[in-house]
Amino acid sequence: MDKNQKRHEQIEKIVKVMPVLIVVVAILYLVLFYLLILKPKLGRIIEGGEYDTTPVELVLESETAYQTSLKGHVERMSKISDAYRDTVTNMVTVGVDYPGLMVTLDEMTRKHHMILNGLDVNIAEAPASGGRKVVRGVANISGGDYKIMKAFLRDLERSRRIMDVQDLQFNPSGAAFSITFWAYYIDEPVSG
């Protein structure tokens, strides 16, 4: 029995040490797991690592702020009335719009009981400031007296389409005059 008793005592000692041994082995496993598996991968994930998402998050945050800003602009744009939008669009047209110039001048001359005899329009060489381009026009108009011509020029200045009168020539033989003006446009966007 002596042998059995010694063996039994040894087993009891092992059973008493077993919880401590299990904790030590578990800690050893955790340390080995960290050193051999997690740490090599963690270096790629932490800030500055190969899989660091911080730069992507910053870009996403910036893009989200820009998108919010654009939504605000779209909302404000949708609140602008169609009449005001047309007025702004007609001030400086997209493209040259020769017919629009002719219609505008013809309407003004008819309003003042005058006749638009001719309109010569061509693109000026020098562009205006702010990305605008210039159309140079010469309109030959007949009919009316000094008061009517003055009212016509006032309406031309107040026109929805921006036009700058550069030269005004009178015909000494009658009620006819020639106006040289500049109108502005922006190039049509190129698709593609």
| Domains along the sequence of the chain with CATH | 2-77 (no CATH), 89-186 (3.30.70.60)
Which pLDDT does position 192 carry in this prediction?
Answer: 47
State pLDDT tens for residues 63-84: 999 999 999 998 888 888 777 7
How confident is the model over 170-186, as a mean pLDDT? 83
Pick from 1-10, 30-39, 135-144 the range whose average pLDDT is largest: 135-144
Task: Tell me the CA distances in angstroms from 153 to 5, 84, 90, 122, 148, one per residue in order.
Answer: 127, 23, 19, 21, 9
Neighbours of 185 (CB within 10 A): 21
Q: Which helix (H) or strand (E) holds 11?
A: helix 2-33
State pLDDT tens for residues 83-107: 777 777 767 777 778 888 899 899 9
State pLDDT tens for residues 141-171: 998 788 888 899 999 888 888 888 899 888 7
58-97 as b/e: b if 16+ CB within 10 A: eeeeeeeeeeeeeeeeeeeeeeeeeeeeeeeeeebbeebb
Query: What rounded mean pLDDT belongs to the chain?
Result: 83
Which pLDDT does position 72 carry in this prediction?
Answer: 93
Which pLDDT does position 61 carry in this prediction?
Answer: 94
Q: What confidence category does residue 176 fall into, taking pLDDT thresholds of 50, 70 and 90?
A: confident
Alpha-carbon radius of gyration of the chain? 42
Task: Name which residue leads in pLDDT, 74 or 49.
Answer: 74
- Looking at the chain, the whole-number percentage of residues with pLDDT higher than 90 is 24
Is the pLDDT reported for residue 51 higher than 80? no
**Residue 164 forms beta bridges with which residues?**
182
How confident is the model over 124-144, as a mean pLDDT? 79
Neighbours of 148 (CB within 10 A): 15
How confident is the model over 43-47, as a mean pLDDT? 69
How confident is the model over 115-139, as a mean pLDDT? 81
- Looking at the chain, the whole-number percentage of residues with pLDDT higher than 70 is 87
- The verdict on pTM exceeding 0.85 is no
How confident is the model over 113-137, as a mean pLDDT? 81
* Residue showing tokens 């609140």: 79
Neighbours of 144 (CB within 10 A): 19
DSSP 48: T
